[in-house]
Amino acid sequence: MHDSEINISIITLNDLEALQNIGIQTFIETFASVNTKEDIDAYIASGFDSAKLTAEVNNPDSQFYFINIGKKPIGYLKVNFGVAQTELQDTESLEIERIYVLKEFQGRKAGQLLFSKALEIAQKRKLKTVWLGVWEQNHKAIKFYEKNGFTVFDKHSFLLGNDLQTDIMMKINLAD
């Protein structure tokens, strides 16, 4: 990847189909090998439904961003504020709900750039904490967040299809 080609753009309703496509592809690449096809299919049917994604993109307390090479999206970020957060719903925190990068572009700093974008958004809003939930079996992601200064503060359950899984909740406190 050449830096001059990489850009981050905000996702709008005009990008819904591209968001749906990259969301499904990255989810399958990340989780299909370690979950049943039935559970993956059930999650995709509900989690990437057009009506659900439309509501999420329209939510003023959520923002989506693509990371692109030229005009081709290779990953995306979803952040939540206030009541859009899946857990804490603290007015002084930002949740990174999703950072996904297509497998062929992993290891080339795209995830790090999306992560940096989330921190930049939190700092601009003068928020105190950035937090996220990560599946306890996603060791690669956990290492990535630990390397970036996140620490574990809790866990919660997450239903993938019919499989009840555990997410580790991690956070970083931002300097004033």
- Interstrand relation of 62-69 and 6-10 (parallel, antiparallel or unpaired): antiparallel
Q: 171 with 151: CB under 8 angstroms? A: yes
Give pLDDT tens digits along the chain (176 positions). 554 589 999 999 999 999 999 999 999 999 999 999 999 999 999 999 999 999 999 999 999 999 999 999 999 999 999 999 998 888 999 999 999 999 999 988 999 999 999 999 999 999 999 999 999 999 989 999 999 999 999 999 988 889 999 999 999 999 76
Query: Both tokens of residue 114?
Result: 């999306």
* CA nearest to 98, candidates 8, 166, 157, 27: 27
Q: Is 76 a catalytic residue?
A: no
Instruction: List the beta bridge partners of residue 160.
Output: 163
Specify the CATH architecture of the domain 3-127.
3-Layer(aba) Sandwich (3.40)
Note whether 77 and 19 are within 8 A (CB). no
Domain residue ranges of the chain, discontinuous segments joined by +: 3-127
pTM of the model: 0.92
Which residue out of 43, 65, 100, 145 is catalytically annotated? 145
